[in-house]
Amino acid sequence: MSERELRERLAAIELPGEQGARGRAAAAAAAAHAQRPPWRPAPARRRLVPAGAVALALSLSAVALATTRPGHAVTHWIDDVFSAPAVTQPRDRLPARGSVLAIGARGPFVLGAGGGRHALGRYSDAVWSPHGLYVAAVRGRQLAAVDPHGAVHWVLTAAGPVADPRWSPDGFRIAYRAGARLRVVAGDGSGDRVAGRAVAAVAPAWRPGRAHALAFLTARGGLLLGRPDRGTAYLMADGLAAVRWIGWAGPHRLLAASPGTLTAIAAGVLSDAERRRERTWHAPSGATIASAAVSPTARHVALLVQRAGVTRVVLLGSALAGRPRVLLAVHGALAGLAWSPDGRWLVAQQPRRSRWLLVPTSPGLRVRALPGLDGRVGGWCCVR
């Protein structure tokens, strides 16, 4: 085969998955571009107005502003702009498409994009199905599938208290904890089976894709990747007894959060212990990671980091490389954390104020508040 023929054949091979990959990558690339630092033009070489004159004018303006009542408000505004993200007046509408599922004192409810609410019943926890067609809800020893208007489709009763239901990416399986066991049931409520024993009180995480692969933690701190349909599982990593949250950032990287660290683990690497943990991000001394959520594109992970009575919303690249960005800092706690389906907003509950804060992840937008909402945010889904 000649070199020319080789060139032609390499360029002509039909590749699988290119179009779908292109769409997903375009969104990720656009998001990465939008999150770059702002461009600053090179400083002008020639000043049209002497610097001293500008400083004098600004000083006079500041004095004039501060000595009048409207001026007083403006200086506050200027101070706020430079010291913390500004928050717009409360609104009653979500800034992006989709519906938010929240768990309030009276049970879960769904807040639609237009502001309408639907209560789902007396459940203690709930999560969206991948396309937002159903909600998996739990109370006591019961797991139920209900629609977003509260109609119950099926209920099963387990041997122990049910917690942490998680729907598989294709919607055909639900994993949940029942006591110390991990169980998996089909999306129609059939075929309930044990998928793991002596598991930790940490929600399992389905690996992206159609393979029904599920990561979960054992009580002894082992991280397993199981295939419940086949009854197989293998150890991805161990020594993770302090981990309180796991989530996939794409099919090849699992993130594990303990109170003080966030670790990226390469999926499936068995032979080299040093390479299992790709990278670890350490929260500053005394700070605690209270919640974590992976972005829809899997390129970023958002964290709630608490320290000394202040909670910060922190954005990290999912590879845990690069500098974290603090999107917002508030006094007191925030609860729950979820991405909007378009990846442009984060929502978290501010219990002390009985409201939700909507935090933009892209430049140019302001933090918004949704008042009168007591529920802990469970998920924001989906654009159908």
Partner 1 sequence: MGARDSVGVVAHATRDPTMAAFDASLPSVPRSGRGVSARSRSDAALVRDACRGSAAAWEALFARHWPQAYRAAYLVVHDAAAAEDAAQEAFVAAAAALERFDRRRPFAPWLHRIAVNRAIDHARRAARRHEAGGGVAGEVGGWDPAGPDDGLLGELRALSPEHRAVVVLRYLLDWTPGEIAAALHLPRGTVNSRLRRALDVLGRGLEESG
272 binds partner 1, rule: CB under 8 A = yes
- Euclidean distance between CA atoms 137 and 130, whole angstroms: 14
Residue selected from 85, 222, 343, 375 as contacting partner 1 according to rule CB under 8 A = 85
Residue selected from 54, 58, 241, 326 as contacting partner 1 according to rule CB under 8 A = 326
1 binds partner 1, rule: CB under 8 A = yes
- Euclidean distance between CA atoms 224 and 77, whole angstroms: 51
Residue selected from 77, 188, 193, 242 as contacting partner 1 according to rule CB under 8 A = 77
Residue selected from 106, 193, 197, 331 as contacting partner 1 according to rule CB under 8 A = 331
Closest CA to 182 of 129, 133, 265, 246: 246
Site track for partner 1 across 245-264, x = CB under 8 A: -----xxx------------
Could you tell me the smallest distance in angstroms from the CB atom of residue 213 to partner 1? Answer: 6
Closest CA to 101 of 132, 71, 79: 132
Residue selected from 166, 173, 183, 207 as contacting partner 1 according to rule CB under 8 A = 207
Residue selected from 213, 243, 320, 347 as contacting partner 1 according to rule CB under 8 A = 213
Site track for partner 1 across 32-61, x = CB under 8 A: xxxxxxxx----------------------
For partner 1, give the closer residue by CB, 18 or 67.
18
The structure tokens listed for 281 are: 């991000």
284 binds partner 1, rule: CB under 8 A = yes
Residue selected from 66, 86, 119, 152 as contacting partner 1 according to rule CB under 8 A = 86
Could you tell me the smallest distance in angstroms from the CB atom of residue 184 to partner 1? Answer: 16
For partner 1, give the closer residue by CB, 27 or 180.
27
The rounded Cα 75 to chain-centroid distance in angstroms is 35
The rounded Cα 297 to chain-centroid distance in angstroms is 10
Could you tell me the smallest distance in angstroms from the CB atom of residue 79 to partner 1? Answer: 7
- Euclidean distance between CA atoms 318 and 295, whole angstroms: 9
92 binds partner 1, rule: CB under 8 A = no
Could you tell me the smallest distance in angstroms from the CB atom of residue 315 to partner 1? Answer: 9
* Amino acid found at 341: P
175 binds partner 1, rule: CB under 8 A = no
- Euclidean distance between CA atoms 175 and 264, whole angstroms: 22
Tokens 């010291």 found at: 83
- Euclidean distance between CA atoms 236 and 225, whole angstroms: 6
184 binds partner 1, rule: CB under 8 A = no
For partner 1, give the closer residue by CB, 186 or 327.
327
Which range in 135-143, 149-157, 282-290, 336-344 contacts partner 1 by CB under 8 A?
A: 282-290
Closest CA to 302 of 369, 351, 357, 252: 357
Q: Are 345 and 88 in contact (CB under 8 A)?
A: no
Could you tell me the smallest distance in angstroms from the CB atom of residue 284 to partner 1? Answer: 5
Residue selected from 61, 80, 152, 273 as contacting partner 1 according to rule CB under 8 A = 80
* Amino acid found at 369: A
Closest CA to 92 of 83, 84, 100, 104: 100
Name the pairing type of β-strands 99-104 and 152-157. unpaired
Sign of torsion over alpha carbons 355, 326, 114, 293: negative
Which range in 94-102, 108-116, 120-128, 278-286 contacts partner 1 by CB under 8 A?
A: 278-286
- Euclidean distance between CA atoms 20 and 351, whole angstroms: 40
